Amino acid sequence: MASVLDRAAAPPDETTAYGVEPDQVYDVRRPAGPVRGVTVIVVHGGFWRPATDRSHTGSEAEAFRQDGFHVVVPEYRRAPRGGWPDMRADLLTMLAAASARTDLPEPVVLVGHSAGGHLVSWLAAQPDASAVIGTVALAGCVDLHLVHELGLGGGAAEALMGSTPQDDPAAWEQADPARLGAPAAPVVAIHGTRDEQVPLEISQSYVDAVPDARLRVVDDADHFDVIDPQSAAFEIVRGTVADLADTGGRDR
């Protein structure tokens, strides 16, 4: 069975620019079957580095499309070409651009994997995220300070920030979703017990710090099972996204 990282998937229906840089684009997939009236924005991971892009999200995005969602998959500038200020700006600009479209439903569920889990959890806590009705962080780097302390990704957090927490504590506080308090809409962290890239304690630390955030632990799932539609773990992800979409963010 091909890995989800290189498994072929149907191409998106369109790719649209939200800025002038090559990485400032997003893909759109339109729903199959009954339309649910919610847009799912899928943000890829890769420790914020350019070696990993959105190309491996095809199977995941296609699964959400089959579930009746409009799906948006953004690219974004990554370190070192784009550090945290550029990445932060790209996320906000992308969300505003997608929300302004009349052909995409305004209620949004954010889904992010690994470093993308950090990005969607941060985005959900921003004042400009009023369209977001729920967020799902999959094996997410959702406690940036702990990612730094554990040295994950060979210093990936420091490469993202261009500093350490000791060098620039204010910037790290503002970039760390575990330090921002509760977003207006529910956040669910989903994490496998066999994750060797981003350990489960990262998500546990986040939900301990953020009021009302919830953690769903998936036994015997690794780092990539949570984005693989062929895995049992992904059924939990699909169900969580559907629940958030159906409750409109009211299920806290």
Terminal Cα distance for the chain, rounded? 37
pTM summary value: 0.96
**pLDDT given at position 252:** 41
Give the Cα separation of 128 and 96 in Å (integer). 8
**pLDDT given at position 106:** 93
Helix (H) or strand (E) holding 165: none
pLDDT tens figures, 55-101: 999 999 999 999 999 999 999 999 877 799 999 999 999 999 999 99
Pairing of strands 14-17, 25-29: antiparallel
**What is the per-residue DSSP string for 192-239?**
ETT-SSS-HHHHHHHHHHSTT-EEEEETT--TTGGG-TTSHHHHHHHH
Once rounded to an integer, what is the mean pLDDT over residues 167-185? 97
Q: What is the mean pLDDT of the chain?
A: 95
Spell out the CATH class of 14-247: alpha beta
pLDDT tens figures, 121-160: 999 999 999 999 999 999 999 999 999 999 999 999 999 9
**Residue 251 pLDDT level (bands cut at 50, 70, 90):** very low
